[in-house]
Structure 1
Amino acid sequence: MRLAWIACLLLLTVTAGCARAEPPRPLLWKVSDADNTVYLLGSFHLLRPGDYPLAASTELAFEDAESVVFELSPREMNDPALGQMMGAAARRDDGKRLQDTMSPETWARLEAWSARRGVPLENLQPFEAWFVSLTVSLVEMQALGLDPKLGLDRHFAQRATEAGKATEGLETGAQQIALFDGLEPRLQQQSLEDVLLDAAKMEENINHLHDLWRRGDAEAMEAETNQRMRDEYPELYARINRDRNLAWLPVLRRRLDRGGEDEDVLVVVGALHLLGDDGLVSLMREAGYSVERL
């Protein structure tokens, strides 16, 4: 599994293709105890108009919830300062340019990519490789017509605000930035090299994942994403997925364990966080709650 594939997963963005008559089957689970319900919904941060309207079960979960929880709070999600924070964290402080850290072959590929996409190389020189890798991936996905304004998290953040529902985030923007900025240089460099090598295959990869997502094929998505990352990059998988799931688990359990209260919540997080043995769905089932796929 090349790290270009991982870059797509880190952005948690998979969608492509034309509008379809049937709405996608959601990656949606209902977790319950005697009093309360937590709905777990797998999100992707860039979508197209053809991915809406959503399935009736998704709409019913939103309507039933008194509050909505995201990876980031809507306030941070929509704050322009978040992008500025990421850029500041990614700016090199070792006196080197990006070019100084790359092989001539990789630099030549980046030159070719920048010419094709019209991204000036001088704009990338001050930054670390992880930031450039994500930039290349994001530019490529947007070139396919993927729109962050249509992502599932932003969709429900806007609707929750309009409906007056309480919202919160499971982590902060600073914590998310640290996930990338803390990657060791070797892994950062390999990620950028693989993104540049695989840019031509990105449309094929995204289309494949998007088809699995629209069909709601949780098992195939787990095999194609989490399982492959666990096998080939176990440290990276633990950092960006398993450890975060374990940190979020007590927060979700507290929402269910409020005795005597009837306050249901919709939790909208990246789809990869719901899948597999260490995904939130399995973790909540192991904790003794009733879990039902919707």
Structure 2
Amino acid sequence: MPIRDLFRAATLLLACAVAPLVAARNAPAVDPAAAAAAKPPVPLLWKVTGPGDSRLYLLGSFHLLKPQDYPLSPDVEQAFEASQRIVFELSPEDMQSPQLASRMVQAAVRTDGSELKRDLDAATWQKLQAFAAQNALPLAQMQGMKPWFVGLSISIGQMQKLGLDPALGLDRHFMERAQKTGRKTAGLEDIDTQIGMLDGMTVQEQRQMLSEALDQAGKGDEQARLLHDAWRRGDERLLWTKMAAEMRQQYPQLYQRINTGRNDAWVPKLLPYLQAGQGGTLVVVGTLHLLGNDGVVEKLKAKGYKVERVCAGCRAKR
């Protein structure tokens, strides 16, 4: 996997943590005519069957979406209607908390008196200066921030230029629907865990992420287009290849921190929902967490649960 693919994948995976900084508003209205003309995305949705009436629906999210990505498929709508509670990476309370943005910025601020330039090589610094001049980026203010924050801010901004909007992300969509319908909600992580995932990156990883964000900005962000298109098609094989497989091989520590370690922590928190009498639970998390032999899907299979892909459109194509 080219290094740019690796850090683009990491950026998309971490977008949920950054989204509240750039999406402190309601989702834009979806044009009914445009929605009717668009085909719903093919869902990355799995059903896990437990004893009695218990079942989990695992839905792979894309954290920034377009208006034409709605409405969702009937499979997803049926899973929502069959669920009494919705579980996310972060609870709606944490996602909507003013503390999330303030604590993230606090973690991103440099406290040793040094400047951003110190952590960057000459070529990356020059690219950042050029980008700042062309895009009205307040470079003087960015000097006081860590590279991960600057890189992710650039990446999210560029994805928004493609029409990908964090206010339309699948997580926010279901948070709003859960609140409107009175469903119970929960989070698999807290604010500190999400921020620690970002701030725990090494300086080298942060530098590479910022460099990659600048490179992708100059190329029209084709990697974000590719991954969004794959998500719309429900192409789990391409998403696994582009987002995880070689990352796991080439950068095992980074992969462990942002993916495997979190999956391992989540599974025990999901098991109580599979006890008899729990009914239906919809779990909405980043797609990467569901894919591969160390994803949540395979981990639940290994525990003896029946897990099946739910995709009427996929069956129709066979």
> TM (normalized to structure 1)?
0.94
2:84 aligns with: 66
Distance 1:262 1:182, change over 3 A: closer
> How much has 1:110 moved relative to structure 2?
0.4
- SS of 2:65's equivalent in the other structure is coil
* One-letter amino acid of the structure 1 residue matched with residue 293 of structure 2: D
* One-letter amino acid of the structure 1 residue matched with residue 285 of structure 2: V
Contact 1:7–1:195 under 8 Å retained in 2: no
1:278 to 286, 290, 294: 294
Distance 1:218 1:6, change over 3 A: closer
- SS of 2:159's equivalent in the other structure is helix
1:135 to 153, 160, 183: 153
Contact 1:12–1:44 under 8 Å retained in 2: no
1:164 to 156, 172, 182: 182
Residue correspondences, number: 288
* Cα offsets for 1:82-117 (capped at 9, x unmatched): 111100001111110112222232111101111222
1:31 aligns with: 48
- SS of 1:71's equivalent in the other structure is strand
1:105 to 103, 123, 127: 123
> How much has 1:211 moved relative to structure 2?
1.6
2:8 aligns with: 5
Where structure 2 has 5 or more consecutive residues not aligned to the other structure, the ranges are 17-33, 311-318
| Whole-Å separation in 2 of the counterparts to 1:31 and 1:7 | 27
* One-letter amino acid of the structure 2 residue matched with residue 176 of structure 1: Q
| Whole-Å separation in 2 of the counterparts to 1:202 and 1:12 | 18
> How much has 1:12 moved relative to structure 2?
4.9
What is the CA RMSD across the aligned residues, in angstroms? 1.6
| Whole-Å separation in 2 of the counterparts to 1:224 and 1:102 | 26
Single out whichever of 75-84 and 244-253 deviates more from structure 2: 75-84
> TM (normalized to structure 2)?
0.87
> How much has 1:232 moved relative to structure 2?
2.0
Contact 2:13–2:288 under 8 Å retained in 1: no
* One-letter amino acid of the structure 1 residue matched with residue 61 of structure 2: S
1:246 aligns with: 264
- SS of 2:59's equivalent in the other structure is strand
1:223 to 232, 238, 241: 241
Contact 1:73–1:169 under 8 Å retained in 2: yes
Where in structure 2 are the equivalents of 1:183-198 lying within 5 Å? 183-198=201-216
* One-letter amino acid of the structure 2 residue matched with residue 66 of structure 1: Q
> How much has 1:202 moved relative to structure 2?
5.1
Contact 1:64–1:264 under 8 Å retained in 2: yes
